[in-house]
Structure 1
Amino acid sequence: MTGTSQNWPHAPVEVGLVGAGPWARAVHARVLAAGPETRLTSVWARRPEAARATAAPYGAGVAATFEELLDGCEAVAFAVPPAVQAQLAPQAAKAGKALLLEKPIALDLPSARRLVGAIDTAGVVSQLVLTNRYHPVTQQFLKAAQGLDTVGARSCCLSGAFLGGDFATPWRLEHGALLDLGPHLLDLLDAALGPIVRVRGAGDVRRWIELTCEHESGAVSQASLSGAVELERGLMRVELFGRHPEHVFDSSALDHEELWPVLRREFATAVRTGRSGAIDAHRGLYLQTLMAHALDS
């Protein structure tokens, strides 16, 4: 469903892609090239052969340097490790480019703050690829949650991605599930139950980590995170409890193709209006702050 968006009244946003790994090939290049809101102009990666393989199916160009990519686009999408994103994205912001950022926005809190500072100084649009937030089912779950008197929640994001395969990458193996999977659950719990004012972590980020969150509303939530457990398929589930029937979000049955047109249109709309949406770099910094507190607890 990457090409099923409604009519788009503007010129497509010209987007350059940084990165040519599995996620860049499977998602970013394909989704951005589908339009009509965006057009994939070129790809730059540190491995030129990978950039060519990523760009070729869509007739996009291959930039010889990052600077060349910036010269040929009005927005930049990043599909690279967080440390690389935190290094390059401020340069793109300084060049006046809108930014489509991956989570986490950086490997550590100081780097995340520098990135957001660069975005604010440049005054450019930013958006975060928190995939679940763009799915219509997730949006319905969160809308219904706003009217509930929830006192507690439990959630999990579990997979075997770190055990082998395309996503057992060095940064994930080193920094574990909190940075990779944590943004998804913390974002959903915060959106469903209200601002998180305190978070504590226990366990091993490379094996299994458990988070306990206290919300401004008085609700308490828990999140179990692991990328190192043997599962047939990944599991992401949020359960809300209170003076209401159990309210559940479960991503296992979702058609993830439904979210990409929503994400693409929201990003293009933000670029064309010059106004970032709620899921922007500041949201990424907020989530990074929560994860840092969890590590320090």
Structure 2
Amino acid sequence: MTVTIGLAGAGRRAVEVHAPAIASCPGARFGGVWARSPMTTRALADKYGVPVFDHFDEMLGHCDAVAFAVPPAVQEDIAAVAARRGRAVLLERPIASDLAGAEDLAVAAARTISQVALTWRYAPAIRDFLTTEVPRTFPKGGSGRVISPAPAGASPRVRELSVLRSLGPDLVDLLDAALGKVAGVRAHGEPDGWFGLMLEHQIGRYSEVSMYALPEGATRRAEVEIFGPGGAAAIDCVAAVGPDAIDTMYREFTAAVEQGTPPELDVRHGLRLQQVIEAAETDLIVGES
């Protein structure tokens, strides 16, 4: 079986990440592109020789699955439409603009195949880290550090929330995989763009996260360290994630669609990450007032 995948979106992430991965995926056929900008949509579709769809509903009639590269507020609405039509959905993170939208999307996608594009988790180096390096430490706790560029001209708090939403889901997900499900979060920040998270994991472990939002053009960094009686294990997440991670993500997505087997990183997992991120946002906003 070949899975026909339509692409919703024609921006930078669609162009640089999703489109080339769909086109090169052995189990997929690139079914076409829909986006709200006619010029960029046409340019992307022409590059791969695939159809342009003027209406999202029209694309749904020509594909088995949809990959999304659109803002969260758009994704929560149109991904729900696709899921209700029985189409598998590959979702960007965060999966929605807020918790209510994420809950609605999780309900809509409950009966179809869904997968969240947590690209770190598909990288071979990170998978080896989780399956080989972390167990050797007999893990008791961990830490994460992120330095990332944020929108120019924005206030420090807006920059913080931007970084939290763009990289927070990946970082929380990785610590969640290494130490157990996150059961609670506390967040605090400073007016210069730095903020921290304390994560409580279900099985009595804890991790601490430091994130710093810098002006656009800054070099991105993301590191995770896990420690316990057996020592420590650390990984540079930026260096670990390359095109092979995206290719693996798409191979596993098409396999899930073919087999009808829900992936581990599905919409319900995306909802749980959204709950953690939104709780952290609330702490940061309340702390500022």
* Contact 2:179–2:205, Cα closer than 8 Å, also in 1: yes
- Output one character per residue of 1:151-210: Cα deviation in whole Å (capped at 9) or x when no partner: 22111122224349xxx9xxx859422211110110000100111111101116992321
- Name which of 195, 198, 202 aligns with 1:212: 198
Q: Cα distance, 1:283 vs. partner? A: 0.8
Distance 1:240 1:189 in 2: 8
Which runs of structure 2 are paired with 1:63-212 in the superposition (5 Å)?
63-120=53-110, 123-144=111-132, 145-163=134-152, 175-203=161-189, 207-212=193-198
Identical counterparts, % of pairs: 40
Q: Cα distance, 1:150 vs. partner? A: 2.2
The verdict on how the C-alpha distance between 1:48 and 1:128 changes in structure 2, with shifts beyond 3 A counting, is: same
Which runs of structure 2 are paired with 1:193-272 in the superposition (5 Å)?
193-203=179-189, 207-229=193-215, 233-254=219-240, 256-272=242-258
The verdict on how the C-alpha distance between 1:174 and 1:44 changes in structure 2, with shifts beyond 3 A counting, is: farther
* Contact 1:17–1:42, Cα closer than 8 Å, also in 2: yes
Q: Cα distance, 1:99 vs. partner? A: 0.1
Distance 2:48 2:77 in 1: 27
Distance 2:15 2:277 in 1: 28
Distance 2:3 2:191 in 1: 38
Q: Cα distance, 1:65 vs. partner? A: 0.6
Amino acid at match of 1:77: A
Amino acid at match of 1:133: R
- Name the structure 2 match of 1:19: 9
- Secondary structure of 2:272's counterpart equals helix
Distance 1:32 1:83 in 2: 23
Moved more, 155-164 or 36-45: 155-164
Distance 1:174 1:47 in 2: 29
- Name the structure 2 match of 1:5: none
The verdict on how the C-alpha distance between 1:84 and 1:268 changes in structure 2, with shifts beyond 3 A counting, is: same
TM-score computed with the length of structure 1 as normaliser? 0.88
TM-score computed with the length of structure 2 as normaliser? 0.90
- Secondary structure of 2:140's counterpart equals strand
- Name the structure 1 match of 2:42: 52
Unaligned stretches of 5+ in structure 1? 1-10
Distance 1:225 1:264 in 2: 29
Q: Cα distance, 1:290 vs. partner? A: 1.0
Distance 2:55 2:136 in 1: 50
Q: Cα distance, 1:219 vs. partner? A: 1.9
Distance 1:55 1:226 in 2: 37
Distance 1:70 1:200 in 2: 41
- What do you get for the CA RMSD once the two structures are aligned? 2.1
Q: Cα distance, 1:269 vs. partner? A: 0.6
How many residues are treated as equivalent by the alignment?
279
Distance 1:255 1:190 in 2: 18
Q: Cα distance, 1:71 vs. partner? A: 0.9
* Contact 2:137–2:232, Cα closer than 8 Å, also in 1: no
Distance 1:206 1:191 in 2: 30
